[in-house]
Each structure stands twice: as structure tokens, then as C-alpha cells.
Amino acid sequence: MSFLKLNRNYIQIHRKTYLWKHSITDDLLKGFGLIIQNELIEYLINVPEDLIEDLSKEIQNKLQDKLFENLQEKIG
């Protein structure tokens, strides 16, 4: 097997695994965004809604990153 073919196979397997792990993290975090945003709205009464939305998305992204990182450690 040539190096180029081996490299292509490795990339395909890595990409498939990466997308699978990303899909799992997305499934696990479904609905979290709305919960986070509602809690922020409840506690940050006088803060503009667009800032709350941005903060909510940032928290979601941090959770997703950490979950993906943990999944990488457990599954490889």
C-alpha cells in the first residue's frame, strides 16, 4: 500500500471519527442552549437580550468543547 493511499485512509477514518464524536456532543447538548438562556434572563434582569444571547452561546460552546475533549480522552 502506498504512503499516499495510507494517508488518505487515515484522513478518512479520522474525519469519520471526528464527525461521529461531534454528533454525539451535539445530541448530548440539545436543549441546553434554551435552558442556559432562560436562566441568564431570569438572573440578569436589566442586561440587554442580545448580550444574554451571546453569553448563552459562549457558555454552550465552552460546554461543547469540554464535552468533546472528555469524549476524546474516553474514546480516543
SS3 state at 69: helix
**pTM metric for this prediction:** 0.69
Instruction: Report how many domains make up the chain.
Output: 1
pLDDT tens digits, the chain, 76 residues: what are they? 566 667 888 788 888 888 888 888 888 888 888 899 999 999 999 999 999 999 999 999 999 889 888 888 877 6
pLDDT given at position 62: 93
Task: Tell me the residue range of the domain where 29 lies.
Answer: 3-75
Separate counts of helices (H) and strands (E) for the chain = 3, 0
Contacts 24+ apart (CB under 8 A), 58-67: 60/29, 60/32, 60/33, 60/36, 63/29, 63/32, 64/25, 64/26, 64/29, 67/25, 67/28, 67/29
